[in-house]
A = this chain, B = another copy of it.
Amino acid sequence: MKIEEILKSTVPMDNSKKIILNVLYTQNVITENFNEILKPYEISGEQYNVLRILRGQKGNPANMWTIQERMLAKTSNTTRLVDKLLLKELVTRKVCPENRRKIEVLITQKGLEVLAALDPKVVAHEQFFSKNLNSEEINLLNQLLEKYRNQ
């Protein structure tokens, strides 16, 4: 469905505006769909993101700055996201002995199990949308988005 129909626009839209609206709306569709997957596990998208970063550390602890740096939304509050994950016992947190300003965050076995349960659903989610495009179009879309946001 075209973006003008979705937003019930009465006037024709500039293509530059259309891209903005298409990106924002597509993000909404992806995120809503993904939140449905996460709902049974009672974690938010950003909390999932933190868990993925921690698993990617392969046993090494991550400090707050490392997590922040690898997150999609750089402005989100890592301390409080980790707080929530701690309450659910999906991560551990301790002060770094070498540098007491730093915090060492690690994913727990329980956290790894949640991710493992989610893995196939996440892959299915990724393919749910991209199945509408052939592999050439998928590459092209990635390239165009990367080119688009280059300032």
Contact = CB atoms under 8 A, between A and B. Distances in A.
B130 A19 contact: yes
A8 interface: yes
Interface in A41-67: 56
B24 A30 contact: yes
Contacts of A98: none
A137 interface: yes
A16 B130 contact: yes
A28 B73 contact: yes
A72 interface: yes
Contact of A146 (B1, B28, B30): B1
Contacts of A1: 146, 150
A88 interface: no
A15 to B, nearest CB: 5
Interface string A10-53: 11001111111111111111111000000000000000000000
Interface string A130-145: 1011010111111011
